[in-house]
Chains A and B, each alone.
Chain A
Amino acid sequence: MRKKTLLAAALLSASALTLTACGGSAESDKPVASVSSDVATEKAATVLDQPFKKPDLVLTDTQGKKFDLRERTAGKPTLIYFGYTNCPDVCPLTMSNIAIAKKALPKADQEKLQVVFVSTDPEHDTPEVLGSWLKGQDPDFIGLTGDFATIQGGARTIGISIDEPTKDKNGKRVSMHGKQVIAFSPKDDAGYVMYGDDATADDYQKDLPKLLTGAKP
């Protein structure tokens, strides 16, 4: 497996080099590293060797009430994603994929699963905005917003890097969502599985029964 992955990566890098070498007019500031994206992996889930502790985040929920993430989701299977509602593609896609997979679970299991969407654009995503947006995905999803620095700090503890939305020098908008969904085990509350944004509803549907018990997918 490892050898194959390396071989693939080498070939990919070679092609990328060819492309950039010839493309005189191509923009040079774009990194070519993304070429190596998950071609070599079949499974959507990455089981982490060193699980993350659940972020110690106390934020505001869609009702405008204080929400202590660790306290409220203790002992429950939990999926956490950092995104924003002014995001037309990946954020709603990720939430919809999880919503579809969740609906396929038996009712009792659906109630156990905690899906938490933390805003990376809290200035825009008020509790009302977040609540109305999440209702379109699954009314039971938990939406959290609050101070950006607090959210950024919490995201960093589980390896997720986000910056506040901004405008570049030409006035064009730049905004970020987390690249991963992290699954936390009901057994020890540790974040032990990671999904990239290419995970499908089928991937989640296949893995959720295991994530519900804290088993490895």
Chain B
Amino acid sequence: MRRRLLGAALALVAAASLAGCSDGGAEASGAPELSVDGAFMPQPVNADMAAGFFKVTNKGSAADQLTSVTSPSAARVTLHSTKDGTMREQDAFEVPADGTLDFSRGGNHLMFEELTGRPAVGDTVEVTLHFSESGEIEVSLPVKEATYNPAKASGPGHGTAHPAQGRTAQEHHGTVRS
């Protein structure tokens, strides 16, 4: 318990230092350098609506913006944040320089509407992420079970699992920055 608390607190402090005052001035010179990982879609209830998650990492010294998402599998894909039980559609999400943009369960998510069919576990849904600086990035979202959540290690005692600590810090980092 104690170790977990300390770990989480330290991780946040580390995140704070990392994210610290590095934005100013950097944006003019460098360029964003984006990569996307951890993408998935939880199996939706029906073909009306589904969610999508992933993480964008920016190793470059300039920020970028995720401005829209398209998919051949849905009539519409929109960007949403969730906070305190309120889901808000967003125009765009910032990917900070030397930072990450997290889409994770209970937080930021893609909302797919009017899908061409109901995606099932084992399927893959293709999307194109459109960034204002970096252009387009193609991402494949494997469909996972409805309750899939990589931020929660499975099994009893998940709360003390070490990977969960780092994840928590990242999530908070993303939340504050976005």
B106, A170: Cβ atoms under 8 Å?
A: no
> A42 within 8 Å of B by Cβ?
yes
User: At the interface with chain B, which of A53-61, A69-77, A92-100, A184-192?
Assistant: A92-100
Q: How far is the CB of A88 from chain B (nearest CB, A)?
A: 4
Docked Cα-Cα span, A93 to B151, in Å, equals 14
Contacts of B42 in A (CB 8 A): 89, 92-93
* CB <8 Å contact, B106 and A90: yes
Identify 7 new A-B residue pairs, CB closer than 8 A, beyond the known A8-B8, A170-B91: A15-B15, A16-B16, A30-B178, A39-B8, A87-B49, A89-B82, A197-B106
Contact of B86 among A23, A27, A100, A176 (CB under 8 A): A176
Q: Once the chains bind, are B21 and A22 in contact (CB under 8 Å)? A: yes
Report which of B23, B85, B109, B154 forms a contact with A88, defined as CB distance below 8 A.
B109
Q: Is the CB of B45 within 8 A of A202?
A: no
Of the listed stretches B122-130, B131-139, B169-177, chain A binds B169-177
Whether A93 touches B87, Cβ cut-off 8 Å, given contacts A22-B20, A136-B45, A200-B149, is: no
| 8 A Cβ contacts from A77-113 to B | 85-90, 92-93, 96-97, 100
CA distance A136 to B48 in the complex (A): 12
| Bound form: Cα–Cα A85–B16 in Å | 37
Residues of B bordering A, CB below 8 Å: 1-2, 4-5, 8-9, 12-13, 15-17, 19-21, 23-24, 42, 44-46, 48-51, 63, 78, 82-91, 94, 105-106, 109, 111-112, 146-147, 149, 152, 154-156, 158-160, 168, 172-173, 175-178
Interface residues of A in 15-30 (CB under 8 A from B): 15-16, 18-20, 22-27, 30
| Min distance, Cβ A170 to any Cβ of chain B, angstroms | 7
Q: List 14 A-B contacts (CB under 8 A).
A: A7-B9, A11-B9, A15-B12, A15-B13, A23-B19, A23-B176, A30-B83, A39-B5, A39-B168, A89-B82, A173-B89, A198-B106, A202-B158, A206-B156
Q: Nearest Cβ distance between residue B66 and chain A, in whole angstroms?
A: 15
Residue of A nearest to B151 (CB): A198
Known contacts A23-B19, A172-B91, A197-B106: A86-B49 contact under CB 8 Å: yes
In the assembled complex, the CB of B79 is this many whole angstroms from the nearest CB of chain A, namely: 9
Contact status B46-A136, CB under 8 Å:
yes
Tell me the A residues contacting B by CB distance below 8 Å.
4, 7-8, 11-12, 14-16, 18-20, 22-27, 30-32, 34-35, 37, 39-40, 42, 85-90, 92-93, 96-97, 100, 132-133, 136-137, 161-162, 168, 170, 172-179, 197-198, 200-202, 206
